């Protein structure tokens, strides 16, 4: 009997201990399993520039989704969008309030921002911070979106002209121009060529041009056709690339606005005048000089012969 009582007490004690252990372990496990977790699930950036790039000073929008990965709903969600050092300014406060997000559901938010003008070409952090609660407590989460900033390529072509004042068919021409990089980004593979109805195609490679710098363009080409009323489009074509490999083209007309330049026929008047000078007829003075020269020559020949004859006679006499 005593043994049975003792066994009962041991069993009751073990059961009590098991209940106490389960009472400690199970609530902790349940609480951990049901702890809500709100996180950024996806986002889309919409740039105001048609290229899709965001440049310093541009406005842009971000649409993003926050997902409640827990099975329990969360309430009183406060979402704040901000940048690390004020690189992006929200349109308004940049803060959103969401009453609740059911378990395993998501909510979509959109924020409009503007980038400040003094930004470099790199990616900047945009921080999305959320604070929310459920029946068990309060929670916080933080996600980061990287916003890529590009610098614009902006080029001005200036001081374009033909060095020669008068151009004739077959002449060499020197075409001169200046490439000015007035944008904020370096440009690459700058090259130039000539084209048109009156000049031959010729090329010139310039290379890379840093932001705020300029480069000289100097091309030697040739006049190939005499100008008429239908010859035009004589121009210099300049190409360059940005950091993404996108190619751009600038064209500047030579001569007038339509690219018309005056190319004249070759002038052979000097050669003709030289030929005429060498084939002119003898004048009376020319004939008189020739006669006098001939008489003087005969006198000299006669004198020489007479002197030689006298010397020969003197030798024979001796």
Q: Determine the Cα–Cα distance for residues 243 and 149; give it in Å rounded to an integer.
A: 12
Contact 74, 98 (CB under 8 A): no
Q: Determine the Cα–Cα distance for residues 156 and 178; give it in Å rounded to an integer.
A: 8
Q: Which pLDDT does position 232 carry in this prediction?
A: 83
Which residues, at least 6 apart from 156, have a Cβ–Cβ distance to it below 8 Å? 180, 182
C-beta atoms surrounding 81 within 10 Å: 21
Pairing of strands 123-134, 137-148: antiparallel
Q: Which pLDDT does position 202 carry in this prediction?
A: 96
Q: Which pLDDT does position 155 carry in this prediction?
A: 96
Q: What digits encode the pLDDT tens for the residues 129-167?
A: 999 999 889 999 999 999 999 998 899 999 999 998 889
CA torsion through residues 279, 284, 287, 288, sign? negative
Q: Determine the Cα–Cα distance for residues 55 and 186; give it in Å rounded to an integer.
A: 15
170 phi-psi bin (left φ>0, alpha ψ -120 to 50, beta other): left
Kindly state the DSSP code that residue 124 receives in the 8-state scheme: E
Q: Determine the Cα–Cα distance for residues 291 and 297; give it in Å rounded to an integer.
A: 10
Residues paired with 127 in a beta bridge: 82, 144
Q: What are the C-alpha distances in Å from 20 to residues 13, 17, 25, 30, 33?
A: 10, 5, 9, 16, 20
Q: Which pLDDT does position 28 carry in this prediction?
A: 40
Contact 219, 193 (CB under 8 A): yes
Q: Please give the domain boundaries of the chain with CATH numbers for all domains.
A: 34-148 (2.60.40.10), 155-253 (2.60.40.10)
Q: What are the C-alpha distances in Å from 210 to residues 101, 153, 177?
A: 51, 10, 17
CA 273-278-282 angle, 5° bins:
120
196 phi-psi bin (left φ>0, alpha ψ -120 to 50, beta other): left
Q: Determine the Cα–Cα distance for residues 182 and 213; give it in Å rounded to an integer.
A: 7
All residue ranges of the chain with pLDDT < 70 are 1-35, 268-282, 313-318
Kindly state the DSSP code that residue 86 receives in the 8-state scheme: S
Q: Determine the Cα–Cα distance for residues 17 and 248; give it in Å rounded to an integer.
A: 80
pTM for the whole structure: 0.60
- The phi and psi torsions of 265 (rounded to 5 degrees) equal -65, 155
Contact 63, 39 (CB under 8 A): no
Q: Which pLDDT does position 150 carry in this prediction?
A: 93
Q: Which pLDDT does position 266 carry in this prediction?
A: 85
Nearest alpha-carbon partner for 72 in 96, 99, 100: 100
Q: At which residue do the structure tokens 């026929």 appear?
A: 265
Q: Which pLDDT does position 129 carry in this prediction?
A: 96
Q: Which pLDDT does position 308 carry in this prediction?
A: 75
Contact 260, 232 (CB under 8 A): yes
Kindly state the DSSP code that residue 41 receives in the 8-state scheme: E
């Amino acid at each position: 009997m005593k043994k049975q009582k003792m066994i009962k007490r041991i069993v009751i004690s073990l059961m009590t201990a098991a209940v106490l252990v389960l009472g400690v372990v199970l609530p902790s496990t349940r609480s951990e399993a049901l702890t809500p977790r709100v996180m950024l699930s996806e986002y889309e950036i919409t740039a105001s520039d048609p290229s899709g790039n965001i440049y310093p000073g541009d406005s842009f929008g971000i649409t993003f989704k926050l997902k409640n990965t827990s099975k329990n709903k969360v309430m009183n969600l406060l979402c704040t969008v901000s940048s690390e050092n004020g690189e992006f300014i929200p349109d308004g406060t940049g803060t959103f309030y969401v009453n609740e997000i059911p378990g395993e559901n998501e909510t979509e938010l959109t924020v409009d921002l503007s980038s400040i003008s003094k930004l470099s070409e790199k990616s900047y952090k945009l921080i999305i911070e959320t604070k929310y609660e459920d029946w068990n407590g309060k929670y916080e989460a933080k996600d980061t979106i990287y916003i890529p900033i590009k610098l614009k390529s902006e080029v001005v072509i200036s001081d374009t002209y033909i060095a020669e004042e008068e151009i004739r068919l077959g002449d060499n021409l020197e075409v001169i121009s200046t490439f000015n990089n007035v944008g904020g980004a370096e440009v690459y593979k700058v090259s130039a060529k000539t084209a048109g109805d009156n000049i031959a195609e010729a090329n010139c490679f310039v290379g890379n041009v840093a932001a705020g710098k300029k480069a000289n363009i100097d091309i030697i080409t040739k006049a190939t056709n005499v100008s008429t009323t239908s010859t035009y489009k004589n121009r210099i074509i300049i190409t360059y690339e940005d950091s993404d490999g996108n190619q751009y083209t600038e064209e500047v007309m030579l001569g007038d606005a339509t690219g018309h330049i005056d190319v004249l026929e070759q002038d052979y008047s000097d050669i003709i005048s030289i030929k005429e000078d060498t084939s002119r007829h003898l004048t009376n003075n020319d004939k008189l000089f020739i006669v006098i020269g001939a008489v003087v020559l005969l006198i000299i020949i006669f004198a020489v012969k007479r002197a030689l004859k006298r010397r020969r006679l003197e030798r024979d006499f001796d």
